[in-house]
Amino acid sequence: MNLFVLMKQTFDTEEKIVVQGGAVAEDGVKFVVNPYDEYAVEEAIRQKERHGGTVTVVSVGPERAAEALRTALAMGADEAVLIADDRIADEYGVSRALAAYLGAQACDVVLGGNFSVDSGAGQVAVRVAHLLGLPHVASVTKLEIQGGRAVAERDAEGDTETLEVALPALFTAQQGLNEPRYPSLPGIMKAKKKPFRQLGLDDLGLTEDDVAARTARDSLSLPPERKAGRLLAGDPAGQAAELVRLLRDEAKAL
């Protein structure tokens, strides 16, 4: 079985976000594997342990994303591919690059995180599935593969849906699918010898026009600082009237 995992390197969730000049400052910041992608890597490794095959992790990003890929190799993935090209600017370009790479592979299962914790767009995997014409199941909390079919349970806003799809198919992992393992020392040492490829648009047969951005960021800023709470004096009727006034005149919520 050929399993592929779509990965992204993101800010450590413990990092403080600093915006400078309309962009998030990256100086001195720690980067990690996107937490939801960790579930996808772990699930791919578990499926390989059950059914055999290979796990290839793929990321589109800057050179530093190699560190995240090597973490996945240390966890137990077999191969890594980094698609690094400055001409890829948004999620549309990322999905086109991933689809071009995966379209040339013999894929049985493609896994990814439900969304990335930085942008939170959750659209790359959906776009890739559409471009490749693959069935797509999002927010998966359980995955059983048997023969050429897969049964997936997915989170549906507090409920659970069960879907059966034919392979090849694409799945995105939700929290609760598994508990990702930590890379072991032997795994870290083995990771150094595992295949690691770096590709650009030219290697994928794509041009700059093929991945031209479909979105543009107008501005980026932190939320306004939270104001201190206020105590309303008077009887309940007076407090209610004052609350309505504040919501209407100051908060502009009414």
Full pLDDT tens readout for the chain, 254 residues: 999 999 999 888 787 878 877 777 778 788 899 999 999 999 999 999 999 999 999 999 999 999 999 999 999 999 999 999 999 989 999 999 999 999 999 999 999 999 888 887 888 999 999 999 999 999 999 999 998 999 999 988 888 999 999 999 999 999 999 999 999 999 999 999 999 999 999 999 999 999 999 888 888 787 888 878 888 888 999 999 999 998 898 888 87
Integer Cα distance of 132 and 136 in angstroms: 10
Q: Looking at residue 184, what is its pLDDT?
A: 92
Q: Looking at residue 26, what is its pLDDT?
A: 77
Q: Looking at residue 217, what is its pLDDT?
A: 80
Q: Looking at residue 130, what is its pLDDT?
A: 97
Give which of 100, 104, 165, 113 is closest to 136, Cα–Cα. 165
Distance of CA 5 to the CA centre of its chain: 10
Q: Looking at residue 140, what is its pLDDT?
A: 95
Residue range(s) in the chain whose domain bears CATH number 3.40.50.620: 2-211
Q: Looking at residue 121, what is its pLDDT?
A: 82
Q: Looking at residue 188, what is its pLDDT?
A: 94
Residue whose tokens read 């407090």: 239
- The tally of CA atoms less than 13 A away on the side-chain side of residue 61 is 20
Give which of 44, 30, 129 is closest to 79, Cα–Cα. 44
- Give the CATH number of domain 2-211: 3.40.50.620
How far, CA to CA in Å, does 32 sit from each of 11, 15, 78, 203, 227? 6, 11, 19, 27, 32
Q: Looking at residue 152, what is its pLDDT?
A: 96
Give which of 171, 166, 110, 183 is closest to 142, Cα–Cα. 171
Any residues with CB less than 8 A from the CB of 115 and at least 6 apart, and which?
36, 121, 122, 172
